Structure formats: structure tokens, C-alpha cells
């Protein structure tokens, strides 16, 4: 699934007020971090992940890696944050606007 610019803009506006729910620390992206991201995406569909400055991975690379491992979309990276989206199979909360 690829997001259009209109859909990304909508998701960015929804994510603006969110707090990060997963922290990638000095150990980098571990299986435990991937599992935590997967669980949070299943619960919330749209999440922020903070990549700590001591993490051995860049925020863009780390965000892309987490999105790929969880079959999610990387909506945005800004500062030390990555915003991820994955539509819930059963009873989704977020309705995306139609393509551009």
C-alpha cells in the first residue's frame, strides 16, 4: 500500500498531537522493539516512535526499517521522531481521504 500526498498530509495532521509510544535506545532496533511497534500499531494504527540520539541507527533508516518489518507505512520523519501507520484489519479507526 502506498500513500498519496493527500493521505500523508492527513496522517501528519492526526499525528501532530500524539506522544511517542515506542523508544529506540542505545541497542538499536531489536526484536523487542519491533514487537512493541507491531503491538502499538495494532492498537492505535498511527504511532510516533522516538529514535534516541544514542541509538546506532539514523531516524530515516530506523523508521524505514521499522515500517518494513511491521508491514506499515512510514508517514514522516521529523527530528528524532518517525510516524508510522498501519491500517487495522478489523474495525479500523482512521479513514483516509481518497487519492489525489
* Position 100 pLDDT exceeds 70: no
**Is 95 contained in some domain?**
no
Question: How many domains, in total, are found in the chain?
Answer: 1
Would you say residue 94 lies in a domain?
no
**E strands within the chain?**
20-24, 46-51, 73-78, 81-85
Q: Is residue 28 part of a domain?
A: yes
**What mean pLDDT do residues 73-81 have?**
96
- Report yes or no on 9 lying in a domain: yes
> Is the residue at 100 inside a domain?
no
**Domain of 40: which CATH number?**
3.30.110.60
In-domain check, residue 20: yes
Can you read off the three cell numbers belonging to residue 79?
A: 527530528
Domain range spanning residue 18? 5-85
- List all residues 6 or more positions away from 65 whose beta carbon is below 8 Å from its beta carbon: 29, 57
Reported as a single tens digit per residue, the pLDDT across 6-58 is: 999 999 999 999 999 999 999 999 999 999 999 999 999 999 999 999 999 99
Amino acid at each position: 500500500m502506498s500513500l498519496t500526498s493527500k493521505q500523508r498530509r492527513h496522517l501528519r495532521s492526526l499525528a501532530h498531537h500524539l506522544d511517542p509510544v515506542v523508544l529506540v535506545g542505545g541497542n538499536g532496533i531489536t526484536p523487542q522493539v519491533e514487537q512493541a511497534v507491531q503491538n502499538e500499531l495494532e492498537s492505535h494504527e498511527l504511532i510516533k516512535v522516538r529514535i534516541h540520539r544514542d541509538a546506532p541507527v539514523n531516524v530515516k533508516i530506523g523508521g524505514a526499517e521499522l515500517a518494513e518489518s511491521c508491514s506499515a507505512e512510514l508517514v514522516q520523519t521529523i527530528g528524532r521522531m518517525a510516524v508510522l501507520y498501519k491500517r487495522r484489519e478489523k474495525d479500523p479507526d482512521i479513514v483516509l481521504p481518497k487519492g489525489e
